[in-house]
Structure 1
Amino acid sequence: MSRQFAILGLGYFGSTVARELKRHQNQILGVDRDESRVDALSDMLDHAVIADLTDEKALAELSLETYDAVVIDVDGNLEASVICTLHVKELGAKEIWAKAHSDAHYKLLKRLGADRVIYPEYDAGIRVAESLNYHAMVDFIRLGERQFIVEVETTERLVDNCKSVAKLAIDRDSLFLVAIKRGEEVIQNPSNDTTLQAGDNLVLMGDLDALREIGKQI
């Protein structure tokens, strides 16, 4: 079912979010004070508006409270981002996602009531560090202080040493093999008899220490 989203700020981040949401057949309102940005996306947006994102009256005319969520991306301007978030919150938006540019900005947005604060530079830095530390890691999700879901690539060494899931040295009490991604196929909850192939990605969930141990095999 189609949902409605308002994207306030059509910089690289905001426009990317707008395109992806539209690709999933959602209804998109795009707003920016830069006419060229609005014009560039006008054919894709359901509603395109040129407006100052710090102008409370202009924001009030957008009926933001009727949208499923509002995404705020005010490029490089902390004051404008904070003012916009404050107004959107006071106007009764159901859910606010805001982009932060620094630690201080992140804290301010959280205090103003943003439901989700996205900090791309920090998140990307963490992912790069983890991928460098564990060279086979493709992606990860932190579930708690020591609980993670990770996706790792199999290597020739792992496939040669462990022909099947049964031969993976997995501590079953602290680690669970959720799925194997094989091209476009996803093998959910694979059995012990499932063979491993070059190019497989393993999706694992569990304790950090157990994940480090399995990482030594890869």
Structure 2
Amino acid sequence: MSRQFAILGLGYFGSTVARELKRHDNQVLGVDRDESRVDALAECLDHAVIADVTDEKSLAELSLENYDAVIIDVDGNLEASVICTVHAKELGAREIWAKAHSDAHHKLLDRLGADHIVYPEYDSGIRVAESLNYHAMVDFIRLGEREFIVEIETTERLTEQCSNVENLGIDERALQLVAIKRGDEVIRAPGHDTALVCGDHLVLMGDLAALRELGNKL
């Protein structure tokens, strides 16, 4: 089912979100004061508007309350981002996603009522650090302070030690093996006797300490 989204600011982040949403057959409105940015995306937008996203009257004409979500990407301009967020909130936006540029900006957006705050530099830094620490980690999602979903690739060293799931020695009170991705195949809730193959991707959910213990085997 198609949904409607408004992208306020068509920087690299905003334009990437716009393209991906259109790729999934959603209806997308793109707004930016820079005519060249709007023109560059015009063909993949349902509606393209050249306007100042800090101008309340201009935003009021867009009927932001009718969109499923409003995404705010004001490049490097904290003041403009804050003003745009305040106006979107006051104009009845149902759900606001805003890009932060610093810790202070993140705190401001949170206090202003942004529903979701994207902090690319911080998120990327965490992801790089985790990947460097656990070289076989492919991806992860933080569920809480100590709860994660991680995807790790089995190494030759691991499969030499552990021929099947049971050999992993997972403490199921703290960690669950949700699935194994093997090429195009997904093995859901694998049993203890499921063989492990070098290059498998293990999708695990659980406590950070248990994940680190498993990571030491990679």
- TM-score by length of structure 1 reads 0.98
Name the counterpart of 1:151.
151
1:67 and 2:74 equivalent? Answer: no
Q: Structure 2 CA distance, aligned partners of 1:185 and 1:7?
A: 36
Shift of 1:62: 0.4
* C-alpha RMSD over aligned residues: 0.8
Shift of 1:148: 1.1
Q: Structure 2 CA distance, aligned partners of 1:14 and 1:183?
A: 32
Q: In the alignment, residue 56 of structure 1 is paired with which amino acid?
A: E
Shift of 1:214: 0.7
- TM-score by length of structure 2 reads 0.98
Q: Structure 2 CA distance, aligned partners of 1:155 and 1:38?
A: 46
Q: Structure 2 CA distance, aligned partners of 1:207 and 1:41?
A: 43
Q: Structure 2 CA distance, aligned partners of 1:185 and 1:81?
A: 43
Q: Structure 1 CA distance, aligned partners of 2:100 and 2:85?
A: 11
Task: Report which stretch shifted further, 66-75 or 137-146.
Answer: 137-146
Q: In the alignment, residue 161 of structure 2 is paired with which amino acid?
A: N
Q: Structure 1 CA distance, aligned partners of 2:154 and 2:12?
A: 33
Name the counterpart of 1:121.
121
The SS at the match of 1:217 is: coil
The SS at the match of 1:43 is: helix
Name the counterpart of 1:46.
46
The SS at the match of 2:217 is: coil
Name the counterpart of 1:202.
202
Give the number of aligned pairs.
218
Q: In the alignment, residue 199 of structure 1 is paired with which amino acid?
A: G
Identity of aligned residues (%): 79
Name the counterpart of 1:166.
166
Q: In the alignment, residue 6 of structure 2 is paired with which amino acid?
A: A
Q: Structure 2 CA distance, aligned partners of 1:57 and 1:22?
A: 27
Q: Note the residue ranges of structure 2 that are not aligned, 5 or more in a row.
A: none
Name the counterpart of 2:179.
179
Task: Report which stretch shifted further, 66-75 or 135-144.
Answer: 135-144
Q: Structure 2 CA distance, aligned partners of 1:121 and 1:65?
A: 30
The SS at the match of 1:89 is: helix
Q: Note the residue ranges of structure 1 that are not aligned, 5 or more in a row.
A: none
- Following TM superposition, the consecutive aligned residue runs of length 4 or more in structure 1 with deviations greater than 4 angstroms are none
Q: In the alignment, residue 159 of structure 1 is paired with which amino acid?
A: T
Shift of 1:191: 1.1
